[in-house]
C-alpha cells in the first residue's frame, strides 16, 4: 500500500492543485469523498477507494463505480456519527498510509472547514503527517518544536492557534513578531498573520496541540 493518501473531499476543488498533488506521489492511495468523487469521475482520475453517504452524488456515478470498475466502494448511511472526510481519514490510517494530503476540505462552509481541521487530530495522534491544502492555505497540527524555512515557505504569512486547550511556554523565534514564554489561549488572536523574518522560524512550546496555518494571498488566476 502506498505511504501517501490523497483525499479528495467535497469542498472547493482546484483542478491544477489536485493534478499537481497526485503527480508528485508515486502510486498514491486516492480516496474520493462524496462530492469529491464527482470531480474524479469528470476528470477521469481513478480513485483507489470512494467513501461517504453519497447524498451529493448522482446515482449514475455511484452505479458506475459499483458496477463498471474495481474501485472499492464504502457506502454509509447518511445518519452517522462521523463526517465523510473523517471516515476517509480513518480509512487511510487503517490502510497504513504514513502521510495524507486532504484537498477539498475548505470552501464556503466554515462549519465543514472547522470540522475538517479538528479531524486532523486523528492522524496527528496516530503519528501520521496530515495536511489540509488549497491554493491559499496549508493547515496542519504541530505538537512541539517546528521549523519554517524562509526558502521553503508556502506563503508570506503564518498563524497559530491552540487546539482547544491553553498552550504554555509558547515561543516564536526568527519571525517578524517573536514571542517568548507566551501563554496561548483559545481566544487569543495575537498570533495571526505573522511573517518569517530570518532564514527560518522556530516554534516551540511545552505541551498541547497547535494549529499551524501557512497562508498566502489569492492570486489573480486560480483553476
Mean predicted confidence (pLDDT) in 181-206: 95
Write the burial class of residue 4 (CB in 10 Å: 0-12 exposed, 13-18 middle, 19+ buried): buried
Residue 187 is predicted with a pLDDT of: 87
Average pLDDT for 40-61: 94
In this prediction, residue 223 carries a pLDDT of 40
Q: Check whether residue 85 and residue 191 sit in a common domain.
A: no
Kindly report, residue by residue over 9-38, the tens digit of the pLDDT.
Answer: 999 999 999 999 999 988 999 999 989 999
Shared domain for 38 and 127, answered yes or no, is yes
Q: What average pLDDT does this structure show over 84-105? A: 96
Do 60 and 151 lie in one domain? The reply is: no
Per-residue confidence at 63, pLDDT binned at 50, 70, 90? very high
> Which domain range does residue 22 map to?
4-134
Q: What is the mean pLDDT of residues 58-63?
A: 94
Number of domains in the chain: 2
Q: Do 129 and 150 lie in a common domain?
A: no
C-alpha cell at 187: 481566544
| Of the candidate ranges 74-78, 94-98, 153-157, the one whose mean pLDDT is the lowest | 74-78
Q: Which of 109, 134, 159 is the last residue of a domain?
A: 134
Average pLDDT, the chain: 93
Strand partners, 103: 8, 133
Is 33 inside any structural domain? yes
- Whether residues 116 and 31 share a domain: the answer is yes
The reply to whether 152 and 93 lie within a common domain is: no
CATH code at 97?
3.40.50.10240
163 and 97 inside one domain? no
Q: Within this chain, do residues 28 and 126 fall inside the same structural domain, yes or no?
A: yes
Is 222 among the domain residues? no
The domain boundary, picked from 134, 167, 201, lies at 134
Q: In this structure, is residue 221 part of a structural domain?
A: no
Q: How far is CA 189 from CA 54, 61, 74, 130, 162, in A?
A: 37, 44, 40, 24, 10
Q: Give the model's pLDDT for residue 74.
A: 93
pTM: 0.93
- What pLDDT, on a 0 to 100 scale, did the predictor assign at position 81? 79
Amino acid at each position: 500500500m502506498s505511504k501517501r493518501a490523497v483525499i479528495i473531499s467535497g469542498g472547493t476543488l482546484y483542478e491544477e492543485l489536485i493534478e499537481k498533488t497526485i503527480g508528485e506521489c508515486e502510486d498514491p492511495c486516492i480516496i474520493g469523498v462524496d462530492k469529491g468523487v464527482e470531480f474524479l469521475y469528470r476528470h477521469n482520475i481513478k480513485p483507489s477507494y470512494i467513501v461517504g453517504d453519497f447524498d451529493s452524488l448522482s446515482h449514475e456515478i455511484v452505479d458506475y463505480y459499483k458496477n463498471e470498475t474495481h474501485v472499492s466502494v464504502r457506502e454509509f448511511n447518511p445518519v452517522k456519527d462521523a463526517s465523510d472526510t473523517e471516515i476517509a481519514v480513518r480509512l487511510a490510517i487503517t490502510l497504513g498510509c504514513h502521510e495524507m494530503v486532504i484537498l477539498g476540505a475548505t470552501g464556503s462552509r466554515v462549519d465543514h472547514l472547522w470540522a475538517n481541521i479538528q479531524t486532523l487530530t486523528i492522524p496527528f495522534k496516530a503519528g501520521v503527517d496530515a495536511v489540509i491544502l488549497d491554493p491559499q492555505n496549508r493547515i496542519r497540527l504541530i505538537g512541539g518544536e517546528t521549523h519554517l524555512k524562509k526558502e521553503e515557505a508556502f506563503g508570506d504569512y503564518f498563524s497559530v492557534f491552540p487546539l482547544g486547550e491553553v498552550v504554555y511556554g509558547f515561543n516564536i523565534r526568527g519571525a517578524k513578531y517573536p514571542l517568548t514564554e507566551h501563554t496561548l489561549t483559545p481566544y487569543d488572536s495575537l498570533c495571526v498573520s505573522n511573517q518569517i523574518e530570518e532564514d527560518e522560524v522556530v516554534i516551540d512550546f511545552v505541551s498541547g496541540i497547535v494549529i499551524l496555518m501557512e497562508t498566502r494571498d489569492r492570486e489573480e488566476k486560480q483553476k
